[in-house]
Chain A
Amino acid sequence: MIAEALLPPRVIVYEGAGATPLAATDRAGLFASLLDRGYAVTRAGAGAADLQAGGAMIVIGCFPDGPPAVSDTSGRCEVLVRDVTGLSVAETVAAVEEARGERRMNRPPEASTVANGPVANTAETWKPWFPVIDTARCTNCMQCLSFCLFDVYGVAGDQTLRVENPSNCKVNCPACSRVCPEVAIMFPKYHAGPIDGGPVAEADVHREKMKVDISALLGGDIYAKLRERSADAKARFSKERSADQALAERRRCLTKLADAAQIPREVLDALPSPEEIQRRVEAAAARASAAKEAAGAAAVGRST
């Protein structure tokens, strides 16, 4: 889960008055190394750098007369200065890490981990995977809110759909984008359009609708089907001793569903009990219908 309150330190690479420029060959490599470790970076050049609202700023540069005394007089953030004269890119990154000290931050995974497949949803390498709404397409029908079991969606004060808890989303699962009749749900880190945010063609609208129909073929309500399959499996599993066998059976039962809705197998394996699914579906449906009623009442109020 993402550590939502953590504001990563911003590194200001200062090359303006009072500093000598970094070696041109090192500059891009340094920027990339810092970004790939999760730091926000500003190249201040000859101009000014905005102070960030809170958190820490680490100013680095080559200061021939020694590091200057810099402070944020507004007291909004902590400013640390490091002279990196003569340091290599790796040594400069190490100096920034040392300046960061114990301050916690989210971290992108190491490149080698990415190459080896999906990243675990752990405290410091959470892959930012969550639905993003195209508000120009969304009609606030609340089907996605009713569909999601993990409270990712909520309702804003103006009764429109809101992605309330992005980090509750199951990494690499784009299932809710399949239930949206307007192709309004994007996952920017998905591998293909239009779910990745690419342009939506008329054909995509029909294709996405077809996918909803596939879920309808599976039983009208994908979760009803899940519950049914899960209950069947439970009855069978109760006669079995082996947890491994039970898991294998559950996997087999859910394969068709996973393929139809492109739900990762791990997500289906991790679903709560049928009773809990039932409870969550009912709660989400109640929220969705309350939001729609409130929006309808507001629209009537405006027209009278």
Chain B
Amino acid sequence: MTEPQLQTETAARPADDATRIVYCRCAYAQVVPVAVKDAVLAGLAAAGRGFEMVPDLCEMAARRDPHLAELARGDRPLRIVACWPRAVQGLFTLADAPLPKQGVEILNMRTDTAETVLAGVLAAPEGAGS
């Protein structure tokens, strides 16, 4: 049988995974409306593409989780689905992994509807054509 392709970051990726998507569950507190975060998760799960989910970006930042530095490396466009962009940027900085100025979009489940967030996160990257 074909072995699962668990590869390191140097490996080639299919085009649909060119933009990295990270979804924050805000699991340690309920500041994001549950209905919005559930609907966004369901939409991403149904979209048929790879994406990453973290239980709580705040908790990861407090631990200075090395995965944040990997996300902030800037080698691929990044879309983070979480809360206020100012807060998310501050969390990465706190974890010694400041986000690059270009190539990062932060979508806000605290204020936007699930439809708006999903439309933004699943949109074709700029310049990709349609």
Contacts and interface: CB of A to CB of B under 8 A. Distances in A.
Interface of A: 2, 4-8, 12, 14, 16-19, 24, 27-28, 31-32, 34-54, 57, 59, 61, 63, 65, 68-70, 72, 74, 79, 106, 108-109, 114, 119, 125-130, 132-135, 163, 166-167, 186, 188-191, 193, 196-199
B119 interface: no
User: 7 tightest A-B contacts by CB?
Assistant: A197-B87, A197-B84, A45-B50, A128-B58, A132-B90, A108-B27, A35-B25
A132 B88 CA distance: 9
B5 A17 contact: yes
Contacts of A61: 4
B86 A45 contact: no
A231 to B, nearest CB: 35
Main SS of chain A's interface residues?
loop
B53 A31 contact: yes
Contacts of B38: 28, 32
A54 B66 contact: yes
Given A4-B64, A31-B41, A133 B84 contact: no
**Residue from B13, B50, B64, B65 with most neighbouring chain A CB atoms (10 Å):** B50
A49 B50 contact: yes
B41 A2 contact: no
B7 interface: yes
Contact of A108 (B3, B28, B93): B28
Interface residues of B, number: 58
Contacts of A126: 28, 59
A36 B50 contact: no
Contacts of B5: 16-17, 44, 47-49
Contacts of A8: 55
Contacts of B28: 108-109, 119, 125-128, 189
Contacts of B44: 43
B25 A188 contact: no
Interface string B9-40: 10101101100000001011111000000100
Nearest to B38: A32
Contact of B58 (A37, A68, A188): A188
B52 to A, nearest CB: 5
Contact of A127 (B29, B89, B93): B29
A7 B64 CA distance: 10
Interface in B71-104: 83-91, 93-94
